[in-house]
Amino acid sequence: MSELLSEAEARDAADGLAGLRDRFVLDGAVYLDGNSLGALPAHVPARMEDVIRRQWGELRIRSWTEGGWWTAPERVGDRIAPLVGAAAGQTVVGDSTSVNVFKALVAAVRMAREDGGGRDEILVDAATFPTDGYIAASAARLTDCRLRPVAPAEVPSALGGRTAAVLLNHVDYRTGRLHDLPALTAAAHAAGAYTVWDLCHSAGALPVGLDAHGVDLAVGCTYKYLNGGPGSPAFLYVRRDLQDRFDSPLPGWNSHAEPFGMRPGYEPAEGAVRGRVGTPDILSLLALEAALEVWDGVSVAAVRAKSLALTDFFLRCVGEYVPAGRVESVTPEAHAERGSQVALRCPSDAGGVMRRLIGRGVVGDHRAPDILRFGFTPLYVGFADTERAARVLAEVVG
């Protein structure tokens, strides 16, 4: 047995989060793609059987009231809130990340215009996930703003009197680089602009501190580190003191002050409910609610500590096992700049390497042209998994 494997087994034995692994449906593979789709919590199928057979099959329409369907978007939002550092009453769940980015960004520009000063510019992360860029471009056209792609590190110097809103990713989806949310939010506020943060690769992986850092608006998906299931609805955070100014570009009957009044004129509801649009996707929403129960009693700080330990250990194992020159880490070494994934540049047939890894039971993913991504979900990934992944990678590329 290698020294690294012995160390891995010892660290797993001392891991306070190790018991959570049994709460997920896992086969013998090393699953390092939770930053794309989280594993299934084992109790969710039985919960969904009740939703389908009893709530839908027997109660039918009565479940909107008796089953709590109507209030699920806010209720599930309040389950997510502590995981992103928010108090209750500011987070609503529904729609996709893309739709929520659009709502938040247009609302941010509208608030900036209300403040005065002729603001007509949106800054967007130049390396953002493509859809965020597409949405930002559409929002800019809709609001007659100029769109300026900039690197997050350049945002403070790019801000000016014309900047209305800044759309940034908390963690870069390709490299796993963690951007400085507190400092960038403060810089935007100093310039009179509003922030919209995309938390898809940080929610459930590390402390975010939305309330503590005064973030204006934030969105995030729930099918990655929150394990909500494929296509599970996203969340939208609206800071409490901005809720009465949140002017959604997608007003719907579900966000109306009197949703069953069926009045022709729109009057927005109070609070985070303004973030709702149409009828909630109840099956996905309740699957997410059940999945979030695995977080009961779990500290996000403990998850972050294990995440950093796992990614440190993986990089160390890669350094010792993989022949020199075959891969290169593009994920920052500094903990303050690292999310919960490791991205390795593999100049020789990265897509083929990942296919062979998956064939040998190490599941990550490939981002063109040459990036191998490995996501570390501390709720169910251990140190022995990490050592095995690096050892198999060395065999595949060597």
pTM as predicted? 0.97
Mean local confidence (pLDDT), 130-136: 97
Mean local confidence (pLDDT), 121-145: 97
Domain total for the chain?
Answer: 2
Q: Is residue 172 part of a domain?
A: yes
Q: Which of 24, 102, 173, 223 is catalytic?
A: 223
Q: Is residue 176 part of a domain?
A: yes
How confident is residue 117, by pLDDT bands cut at 50, 70 and 90? Answer: confident
Q: Residue 398 pLDDT > 90, yes or no? A: no
Structural tokens at position 280: 């909630």
Q: Which of 162, 224, 276, 391 is catalytic?
A: 224
pLDDT in tens, 271-319: 999 999 999 999 999 999 999 999 999 999 999 999 999 999 999 999 9
Give yes or no: 21 in active site.
no
Average pLDDT, the chain: 97
Domain extent at residue 35? 3-42+298-397
Residues 80 and 179 in one domain: yes
Report the 10 Å Cβ neighbour count for 137. Answer: 15
pLDDT in tens, 161-195: 999 999 999 999 999 999 999 999 999 999 999 99
pLDDT in tens, 205-246: 999 999 999 999 999 999 999 999 999 999 999 999 999 999
Residues 282 and 387 in one domain: no
Give yes or no: 129 in active site.
yes
Residues 271 and 318 in one domain: no
- Nearest to 236, CA basis, from 119, 375, 98: 98
pLDDT in tens, 339-387: 999 999 999 999 999 999 999 999 999 999 999 999 999 999 999 999 9
Residues 86 and 225 in one domain: yes
The percentage of the chain sitting over the pLDDT mark of 70, rounded to a whole number, equals 100
Domain end point (choices 295, 330, 349) = 295
Residues 316 and 243 in one domain: no
Asked whether 342 and 315 are in contact (CB, 8 A), the reply is yes
Q: Which of 11, 373, 388, 391 is catalytic?
A: 373
pLDDT at 2: 87
Domain end point (choices 257, 279, 295) = 295
Residues near 122 by beta carbon (within 8 Å), at least 6 away in sequence: 105, 109, 136, 139, 140, 143, 145, 146, 147, 148, 163, 164, 165, 166, 167
Residues 261 and 383 in one domain: no
pLDDT at 205: 98
Give yes or no: 373 in active site.
yes
pLDDT at 1: 58
Q: Which of 24, 31, 102, 129 is catalytic?
A: 129
pLDDT at 63: 98
Residues 175 and 203 in one domain: yes
How confident is residue 154, by pLDDT bands cut at 50, 70 and 90? Answer: very high
Q: Residue 144 pLDDT > 90, yes or no? A: yes
Phi, psi torsion values for 325, nearest 5 degrees? 90, -5
| Alpha helices for 66-165 (secondary structure H) | 72-80, 97-115, 130-143, 155-158
Q: Which of 172, 198, 370, 385 is catalytic?
A: 198
Give yes or no: 223 in active site.
yes
pLDDT in tens, 13-53: 999 999 999 999 999 999 999 999 999 999 999 999 999 99
Give yes or no: 31 in active site.
no
